[in-house]
Amino acid sequence: MKFYLAIFCSAVLLVNFSCASRSSSQQRGVVEGVKGRVSVKEGNFMPGPDQKPERNSGKVSQRTVYIYAVTTGAQTEGEGPLYKVINRPLVAQVKTDDKGFFECKLAPGVYSLFTGEDGGMFFASLSNGKGELNPVEVFAKKVTVCDIVVNHKAVY
């Protein structure tokens, strides 16, 4: 479960959280919540002699990150990894900076993290054994790192 927690973020409706995108030099130093970087992979990532190692890392991208109360696939509309509607409370949203960095102060709990995509869709590609989409747990006085790879346009 720690593997999923380290990758993606997601649970309890909380009000009045301050979220802001900051570059690394502008970080406020959130002491309780989430932070991470959004990158995008598009195209062919099949192994082969013509593939360059740096191509596999993805490109940083500006996106809006939506933080919802922990959400299962049954609480959404659409087919994963793209969803039309999330039928759970929106806790916070934050835009990434030009390097893909985001951070958000959150109270301890479990949340689901989605990125905003074209056409008003929400992206979440991972789930845990409970069916929770991109779950992340925030612990008291700790920041959970959630790096997101948006890969719905990639072929592996």
**Which amino acid makes up residue 89?**
P
- Contact by Cβ (8 Å): 65, 20: no
Domain that holds residue 84: 2-155
Residues 31-56 have pLDDT tens digits of: 999 999 999 988 876 777 766 655 55
pLDDT of residue 52: 63
Whichever domain contains 138, its CATH number is 2.60.40.1120
Let me know if 91 is exposed, middle or buried by CB neighbors in 10 A (0-12, 13-18, 19+): buried
If one counts the domains in the chain, the total is: 1
pLDDT of residue 136: 95
Tokens in use for 97? Answer: 């900076």
Of the pLDDT bands very low, low, confident and very high (cuts 50, 70, 90), residue 84 is very high
pLDDT of residue 55: 56
pLDDT of residue 46: 75
pLDDT of residue 86: 98
Of the pLDDT bands very low, low, confident and very high (cuts 50, 70, 90), residue 57 is low
Tell me the C-alpha distance between 3 and 143, whole Å: 15
**Which amino acid makes up residue 59?**
K
Q: Angle at CA 79, nearest 5°, toward 76 and 85?
A: 35
Tell whether the model's pLDDT for residue 90 goes beyond 60: yes
Residues 104-152 have pLDDT tens digits of: 999 999 999 999 999 999 999 999 999 999 999 999 999 999 999 998 8
Tell whether the model's pLDDT for residue 69 goes beyond 60: yes
Tell whether the model's pLDDT for residue 77 goes beyond 70: yes
Instruction: Compare 5 and 79 and report the one with higher pLDDT.
Output: 79
Tell whether the model's pLDDT for residue 81 goes beyond 70: yes
Tell whether the model's pLDDT for residue 94 goes beyond 80: yes
Nearest to 30 by CA among 97, 105, 93: 105
